[in-house]
Amino acid sequence: MKKNALLLLLLGLAFIGTPKMACAAPAKAPSSVIAIVDVQQLLQDSLAARSVQQQLESQRSKFQSEIADEEADLRKAEKKLTKMRGTAQTDAYAEEEQKLRQRFLTVERQVQSRRKALDQAFTESMNAVRKGIVDIVSAVAKERGVNLAIVKQQVIWNDQTIDITDEVLARLNKELPKLEVKITPDEDGATEKPIMRSKSKAKAPRK
């Protein structure tokens, strides 16, 4: 009995002598330092974005002019074919009709190819502008100790002092004043004359 009591006493002293492990306090989350960026304004007003728009508009005007000339030629050919209907032999008329129909199909393929190429060029160019915006926003945020940048269009109200749009725009215009738009023709129309659809669409010849 005495032996058991002595053992319990020794165990108690052992626990008393063992230092208590301090509970690790949870890491304190850093306070948010927010900045606001008007991305829509940057995509409209930056020199790079404007240069993209101007280059693509120039290409569209050029292709619209070309397709307008092509449509005029097709309409003339269609009128000529109509006059042949009552005078030419059946085989000769059918041959000319097939040629004209093939021209219409070729123009349509060219239009689709060029539209796809322009859309792709716009997407790639504006993605390059967006990347430039992200890089500059990141640099400005680090300089200001910002750890959260929010798009202005997602904010109801903000103090103007946390809006870094003007600074980002100034840097973007300096670092990326112009962006060359590269238009890669679609493989199906790569060897054809580049054209664009005009507002008036030529109709296929009637049978």
8 A C-beta contact, residue 67 and residue 200: no
pTM attached to this predicted model: 0.70
Delimit the domains of the chain by residue range. 33-189
pLDDT digit string (tens) for 11-34? 454 445 555 555 566 677 779 999
pLDDT digit string (tens) for 108-167? 999 999 999 999 999 999 999 999 999 999 999 999 999 999 999 999 999 999 999 999
* CA 167 – CA 180 distance, rounded (Å): 24
pLDDT digit string (tens) for 64-98? 898 888 889 989 988 888 888 777 677 888 888 89
33-189, superfamily in CATH? Skp domain (3.30.910.20)
* CA 203 – CA 108 distance, rounded (Å): 11
Phi and psi at residue 106, to the nearest 5°: -65, -45
